[in-house]
Amino acid sequence: MGRALVFDRPSLYYHCPLRLAGPSSRTLDCVVAAPLIVYFFVIFTFTLWITHRLGFGYKLASTQSFTAASNNFELAIAVAVATYGADSDQALASTVGPLIEVPVLLGLVYIVKWIGNKRRWAP
């Protein structure tokens, strides 16, 4: 049976509200998820700013920003599974990357479209 990312009820305690649904129901460690979210925003924003300052058009600047922010998580998952085994914590942590990457980059699509429209950035 596959696993799905679900939100647990928010709590006043310092635990991560995300968990993997399935037989093990192991809690996703915020030590893995939080730095990934910060990484995507920082790399994307920095690359977008640099390309804009260099005079790149909207299309090229946004493409370069998305390329810089995306990672080779497929390779990371393969290496973690081959090195530590499929049931290891390292393999679980490496699968968190794509689960975080897709929604964050999707949100960045809407943000960069809004920035492009607001600033009337030439293609």
H or E stretch including 46?
helix 30-53
Would you give the DSSP letter of residue 27? B
Residues present in the chain in total: 123
Measured CA to CA, the distance from residue 56 to residue 99 in angstroms comes to 30
Locate 26 and state its tokens. 């192991």
For 46-82, how does the pLDDT look when each residue is reduced to its tens digit (9 = 90+)? 999 999 999 999 899 999 998 888 877 777 788 888 8
Domains in the chain: boundaries: 30-118
Regarding predicted confidence, which is higher, 37 or 5?
37
pTM of the model: 0.65
Other Cβ atoms less than 10 A from the Cβ of 106: the count is 9
C-beta separation of 17 from 11 below 8 A: yes
User: In the chain, pLDDT over 70 holds for what percent of residues?
Assistant: 73
pLDDT at residue 34 tops 50: yes
For 87-109, how does the pLDDT look when each residue is reduced to its tens digit (9 = 90+)? 887 787 787 778 888 888 889 98
pLDDT at residue 31 tops 80: no
